[in-house]
Structure 1
Amino acid sequence: MVRLPGSKQKPPRLAVICVALLGFGLIADYLWASSPRFGASNFSDAGISLTSRIIPRTNGDASVKSEGNPDVKQGAEKDGSGKEKGSEKDKKKYANVPERFLSATFADLPAPLLDWKKMAPSPVPRLDGAAIQIKNLLFVFAGYGTIDYVHSHVDIYNFTDNTWGGRFDMPKEMAHSHLGMVTDGRYIYVVTGQYGPQCRGPTAHTFVLDTETKQWRDMPPLPVPRYAPATQLWRGRLHVMGGSKENRHTPGVEHWSLAVKDGKALETEWRTEIPIPRGGPHRACVVVDDRLYVIGGQEGDFMAKPGSPIFKCSRRNEVVFGDVYMLDDEMKWKVLPSMPKPDSHIEFAWALVNNSIVIIGGTTDKHPITKKMVLVGEIFQFNLNNLKWSVIGKLPFRVKTTLVGFWDGHIYFTSGQRDKGPDDPAPKKVIGEMWRTKLKLEP
């Protein structure tokens, strides 16, 4: 631009308008991100549910309508007569919109249908609880009842007569969700976890339960609190690894162990072990043939909203993965074949069947457009003979944080949070239902 002698230079009108629009956009984006739509009112994944509607999906690739990049046609509402609502202008706008096909990662995987039978339901619904099977009994611990209420007791299911009973209380200092837990066949070791509802902080307390006497004992506390760490007994030591750090979101990679025997700690302090290659919570952890496996999980989780007096959950970015790691005699982590799809919320969703690890349900990557959580409705098998994954069946519905047992040729699952329906894999209702199906796997 040429400046005339003696004249005053005025800022271009176009630049002023652009700056004003940019400022308005930033303010609007901030107000939208901090609105109640990120609150815990709908109770999805410990209390968070986006209000946008999920796009229906079918087996195979999912298909949605889109125009350019930002606008998505998610299906027109209908009136009482079944006719679509909306103006003729809207109908014409989307009449010739090209289809956009989503990756099969976000769709249900092909799998055989199974004959599921409903059994006696749990006395209470629970999400993010824990479960340990000892012979014909399934001990079910804690968990959310609602986002604002957590259970602090144990229920016991008897596989032989299909009954629940023997309820007893947990220690007052024990965490209510996101627990690490394992058994030696009599004693159940309980490690760290979240204390209280919503997105409250974790505790470092650890306990041991004698399942024959129903007596609790204290154990040496974990060096620092963790949410949902992978936990197992291996070579006479209680191993705890990964999980989320004290802010509930940052993945932890630390790995500790403590010598234990017959329900007692043989040491007063935890020993530092080789860190896990990838941190995070909600993973399956299994020991078979003197090998320790850590399967699936995620990086990131919901956090307490800053300044909230009730620690109200607020949404954060999560990355779900299907990584599989193994420790053996060399005490070095080995990478094994990944799961058929990323899967998290599976810490108590597994059982050992004929030298295979069977995993039921979970959560996978969020929908790429709606960003809503997508639940898993398949059963996965990891054959330890050939280290290969298979999809061996469909669940009666998609569900996460299932509590699983295996007895007399049947695989059982109870509790968790199920989907909104066959065409909507987003989480909705917390359940206490118990289901089973016959499962026969070749060794």
Structure 2
Amino acid sequence: MPIPEMALSPVKFLHWEAYPPMAVGRVYCTAALWAGRIYVLGGCSENGLPLDLAEVLDLETQTWCQLPPLPTARAGASAVTLGDQLVVMGGMDAQQSPLASVEVYHPDEGKWERKAGLGQASMGITSLEIDGKVYALGGMGSDTSPQAFVRVYEPVKDQWLSLASMPTPRYGASSFLRGNKIYVLGGRQGKLPVTAFEAFDLEMKSWTRYPCIPSRRAFSSCAANDRAFFSLGGLQQPGPHNFYSRPHFVSTVEEYDSEQGVWLKPTRSSRMREKRADFVAGCLGGRVIVAGGLGNQPSPLGSVESYNHVKRRWEVVAPLPSPRCSCTSLQTSNMLFVIGGVSQGPSTAVEALCLRESV
């Protein structure tokens, strides 16, 4: 029988599948899924320069195909699937400057097309496709300052419109669509992690502030399921009364209960088993998943854990075949893809944690 969305699937129903490697190892690449294919765009190679490389993996045949190059080499861009097109926006160029350019790939035609720019150069945008429009939130500008912009792209008019700005400027935030609201958590302002938790109402076109994430951690990850939002792990900075003299990895788990409207008090068992930062997080079979990252070991982590929200504890999952940090992730209802990142250098690995759909 199919597993209901918030039922808790057994850990044994989760397994890793390794796909053929990418042609070039890369980090800070951008990924999108369309018609059973994963498109991997741009990123940085081992020389640290942005790439114009675009390639596509057919999940059924497990074969890669190189695409026409991106018109603009870029790393740290944002991308969404919009109908039968891929929209790529922002990111960083070879001079390490943010980009305002927007480009669209037409898979059926095998061609790139330049579209109306964002208006302001931005990297670290968080973006979503909702009802045939693209929403782009936040970013870091050319002067390195965080942005509060909220822009919506209307493809018929090839036009970006401005909406009410986020209360808290930030880049590299996490965004989740729940009902008619876009929830935005975390992100950064320069070196400072952001704890603000805010939501944009798509009907009212206005923002609501929620209680902030209780602790401030750099390189943490966020996840969400139907009942809660999570801020996970990261690197804790020493405070004036902190015992630690330098930044340290943490296993912190902050859980916001949507029904109660509060951040739940952490318990000893609700902490992750392993301290980690700069890792992939997602949700499969009612479980929050964390994979890889950096910890107290000299090399990237391969460990993977899943959160049992019923018992409020973490359970071990089969390890990541290629231990990595700084990965690009892509989530479907039953797969969590971990793409590229850093092992010894930029990685070519593409692997997916898969959930069996029936019991």
TM-score, normalising length: structure 1:
0.52
Residues in 2 aligned to 1:132 and 1:386: alpha-carbon distance in whole angstroms: 35
CA deviation after TM superposition for structure 1 residue 216, in Å? 3.2
CA deviation after TM superposition for structure 1 residue 226, in Å? 2.0
- Report the equivalent of 2:35: none
- Report the equivalent of 1:118: 21
Compared CA separation, residues 391 and 135, structure 1 to 2 (3 A): farther
Letter in 2 for 1:413: V
Contact 1:232 1:287 in 2 (8 A): yes
Residue among 327, 330, 346 paired with 1:404: 330
CA deviation after TM superposition for structure 1 residue 397, in Å? 4.3
Alignment: residue pair count: 287
Residues in 2 aligned to 1:299 and 1:227: alpha-carbon distance in whole angstroms: 19
Residues in 2 aligned to 1:350 and 1:257: alpha-carbon distance in whole angstroms: 20
Contact 2:188 2:194 in 1 (8 A): yes
Residues in 2 aligned to 1:113 and 1:236: alpha-carbon distance in whole angstroms: 33
Compared CA separation, residues 210 and 242, structure 1 to 2 (3 A): same
CA deviation after TM superposition for structure 1 residue 235, in Å? 5.1
- Report the equivalent of 2:148: 204
Structure 1 segment 309-328 matched on structure 2, within 5 A: 318-324=247-253, 325-328=255-258
Compared CA separation, residues 249 and 410, structure 1 to 2 (3 A): closer
Q: Could you report, residue by residue, the CA deviation over 1:281-312 in whole angstroms, capped at 9, with x for unpaired residues?
A: 544333322422333334459xxxxxxxxxxx
Residues in 2 aligned to 1:359 and 1:212: alpha-carbon distance in whole angstroms: 39
CA deviation after TM superposition for structure 1 residue 142, in Å? 4.2
Compared CA separation, residues 113 and 206, structure 1 to 2 (3 A): closer
Contact 2:17 2:351 in 1 (8 A): no
CA deviation after TM superposition for structure 1 residue 124, in Å? 1.8
Percent pairwise identity: 15
- Report the equivalent of 2:343: 419
Residues in 2 aligned to 1:383 and 1:211: alpha-carbon distance in whole angstroms: 41
Contact 2:129 2:135 in 1 (8 A): yes
Compared CA separation, residues 195 and 342, structure 1 to 2 (3 A): farther
Compared CA separation, residues 401 and 165, structure 1 to 2 (3 A): farther
Residues in 2 aligned to 1:191 and 1:345: alpha-carbon distance in whole angstroms: 21
Structure 1 segment 251-330 matched on structure 2, within 5 A: 251-261=193-203, 266-267=205-206, 270-299=207-236, 318-324=247-253, 325-330=255-260
Structure 1 segment 56-205 matched on structure 2, within 5 A: 115-118=18-21, 122-126=40-44, 128-130=76-78, 142-144=90-92, 148=96, 150=98, 152-153=101-102, 170-177=117-124, 179-184=125-130, 186-196=132-142, 200-205=144-149
Residues in 1 aligned to 2:121 and 2:184: alpha-carbon distance in whole angstroms: 17
Letter in 2 for 1:257: A
Contact 1:343 1:362 in 2 (8 A): yes
Compared CA separation, residues 222 and 440, structure 1 to 2 (3 A): closer
From the CA coordinates, give the structure whose radius of gyration is larger. 1
- Report the equivalent of 1:341: 274
Residues in 2 aligned to 1:394 and 1:401: alpha-carbon distance in whole angstroms: 12
Contact 1:156 1:164 in 2 (8 A): yes
Residue among 352, 356, 360 paired with 2:283: 352
Contact 1:255 1:276 in 2 (8 A): yes
Moved more, 221-230 or 118-127: 118-127
Q: Could you report, residue by residue, the CA deviation over 1:315-346 in whole angstroms, capped at 9, with x for unpaired residues?
A: xx644433222222111101452223233334
Contact 2:235 2:250 in 1 (8 A): yes
Residues in 2 aligned to 1:146 and 1:350: alpha-carbon distance in whole angstroms: 29
Residues in 1 aligned to 2:187 and 2:303: alpha-carbon distance in whole angstroms: 24
Secondary structure in structure 2 of the residue aligned to 1:193: coil
- Report the equivalent of 1:56: none
Q: Could you report, residue by residue, the CA deviation over 1:403-425 in whole angstroms, capped at 9, with x for unpaired residues?
A: 32337x6543334x3122xxxxx
Q: CA RMSD in A?
A: 4.3
Letter in 2 for 1:333: W
Residues in 2 aligned to 1:219 and 1:334: alpha-carbon distance in whole angstroms: 32
Compared CA separation, residues 121 and 208, structure 1 to 2 (3 A): closer
CA deviation after TM superposition for structure 1 residue 129, in Å? 4.3
Secondary structure in structure 2 of the residue aligned to 1:400: coil
Compared CA separation, residues 224 and 326, structure 1 to 2 (3 A): closer
Residues in 1 aligned to 2:221 and 2:155: alpha-carbon distance in whole angstroms: 23
TM-score, normalising length: structure 2:
0.61
CA deviation after TM superposition for structure 1 residue 171, in Å? 0.8
Letter in 2 for 1:403: S
Unaligned residue ranges in structure 1 (runs of 5+): 1-110, 302-316, 368-373, 421-427
Residues in 2 aligned to 1:149 and 1:256: alpha-carbon distance in whole angstroms: 28
Contact 1:125 1:145 in 2 (8 A): no
- Report the equivalent of 1:440: 355
Contact 2:87 2:103 in 1 (8 A): yes
